Amino acid sequence: QVQLTESGGGSVQTGGSLTLSCVPSGDTNSNYCMAWFRQAPGKKREGIAAIDSDGRASYADGMKGRFIISKDNAVNALSLQMNSLKPEDTAMYYCAAAIGARFCVLSNSFYNYWGQGTQVTVSS
């Protein structure tokens, strides 16, 4: 079992920045992929970025540039740096993990563990 705990959400104005963190606990001693998703009210959950055990990052179309995913291997902590935020970035942001995966896919069904989410609100 793996538990994922997100933090770092909050309210910012347009153009501001936030960094989200996700700390896993439990059985993480194997290959895994970790990712960030978000879900805005009334919309489907969408992938933002993923990173595998070897540190290879991948981004959804349109996400690379303003969003930067990274991982601290010493503590297995995952981060998402978000810059130049826009009101349309307002959403619940989720951390996800696919334990045992040697590569990453930005699809909801690929991940078997999810965090509770952290809210990001961007005001104009």
pLDDT tens for each residue of 32-83: 899 999 999 999 999 999 999 889 999 999 999 999 999 987 877 899 999 9
| Residue 28: predicted pLDDT | 67
How far apart are alpha carbons 64 and 116 in whole angstroms?
24
How far apart are alpha carbons 40 and 80 in whole angstroms?
17
Q: Which residues of 89-115 are buried (b: 16+ CB within 10 A; e: fewer)?
A: bbbbbbbbbbbebeebebebebbebbb
Cα pseudo-dihedral 15, 72, 35, 84, rounded to 10: 10
**For the chain, what is the mean pLDDT?**
93
